[in-house]
């Protein structure tokens, strides 16, 4: 689905706007716009009836919801190029999650040699049935699944994202940090993060509204898939109360997804 670039699991880099060279493309230059960050998004951000968009059931594929669904959400497919706002949950019930580590069991699952690709396809045990007809056996206790609060969301401004969307809450344990990525899926979305703004119309724990430009999932298939490796790690489900985006934020450290 996504092109592979250079030495995958060992190459870590900071995208500061400088160009890099892709040996697989005959020396062509790569910039931050050539990469797409892998996230998971749950029902706290995208679901039927959610503010501020009040998506219908069919807008978000709710009538198709099932484990392993990877269709593009209908609203996103039909509104490529449109700018919309998404709410991102609240502290302790976040809606956006960085997948910072690809487990070896995802790599071993197939059908490709890259675990991130196998998650997106999906491969057996990652949404498709395995030999025991278990679609979800490889999706629990995933290390370093990191809920994004205001600072982490701010760090994504200017970057492209591809996300698997869940029709349920993604549950997080904090000691050690790990997430449960089991459950029914609504499909996939892709977008560019344009801005992040404090919510002033809800509760004190509400996380920011994020303005995005919708992209077509298929159109970014030639982009390098990367992990948001320095996404800030919350101390607990309630600390820090990181709900106000900073004026400036650190540059994401992006690792090519293995």
Give the separation between CA 46 and CA 191, rounded to whole angstroms: 13
Distance, CA of 28 to CA of 55 (rounded, Å):
40
**What are the respective helix, strand and coil percentages of the chain, to the nearest 5?**
15, 30, 55
The stretch 229-239 carries a mean pLDDT of 97
Least reliable range by pLDDT among 3-7, 146-150, 183-187: 3-7
Q: Can you tell me whether residue 258 is helix, strand or coil?
A: coil
**Structural contact between residues 215 and 190, judged by C-beta atoms closer than 8 angstroms:** yes
State residue 13's pLDDT score: 45
What value, to the nearest 5°, has the Cα angle with vertex 219 and ends 151 and 11? 55
pLDDT tens per residue across span 84-119: 999 999 999 999 999 999 999 999 999 999 999 999
Q: How do strand 177-180 and strand 171-174 relate by DSSP bridges? A: antiparallel
Does residue 28 have a pLDDT over 90?
A: no
How long is the chain? 258
Domain extents in the chain: 12-256
- Coil, helix or strand at residue 1: coil
Please give the model's pTM, rounded to 2 decimal places.
0.90
State percent of the chain over pLDDT 90.
85
State how beta strands 185-197 and 177-180 pair.
unpaired
pLDDT of residue 221: 81
């Amino acid at each position: 689905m996504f092109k592979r670039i250079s030495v995958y699991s060992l190459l870590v880099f900071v995208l500061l706007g400088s160009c890099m060279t892709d040996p697989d493309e005959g020396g062509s230059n790569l910039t931050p716009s050539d990469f797409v960050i892998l996230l998971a998004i749950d029902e706290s951000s995208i679901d039927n009836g959610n503010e501020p968009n009040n998506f219908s059931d069919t807008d978000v594929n709710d009538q198709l919801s099932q484990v392993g669904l990877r269709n593009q959400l209908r609203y996103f497919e039909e509104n490529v190029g449109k700018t919309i706002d998404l709410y991102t949950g609240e502290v302790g019930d976040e809606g956006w999650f960085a997948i910072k580590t690809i487990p070896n069991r995802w790599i071993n699952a197939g059908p490709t040699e890259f675990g991130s690709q196998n998650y997106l396809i999906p491969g057996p045990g990652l949404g498709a049935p395995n030999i025991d007809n278990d679609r979800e056996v490889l999706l629990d206790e995933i290390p370093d699944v990191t809920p994004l609060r205001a600072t982490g969301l701010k760090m994504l401004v200017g970057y492209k994202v591809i996300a698997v969307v869940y029709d349920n809450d993604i549950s997080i344990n904090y000691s050690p940090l790990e997430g449960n990525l089991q459950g029914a899926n609504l499909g996939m979305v892709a977008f560019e993060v344009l801005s992040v703004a404090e919510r002033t119309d809800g509760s004190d724990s509400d996380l920011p509204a994020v303005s995005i430009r919708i992209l077509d999932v298929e159109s970014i298939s030639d982009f390098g898939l990367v992990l948001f490796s320095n996404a800030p790690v919350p101390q607990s489900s309630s600390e820090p109360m990181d709900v106000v985006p900073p004026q400036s934020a650190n540059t994401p450290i992006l690792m090519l997804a293995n």
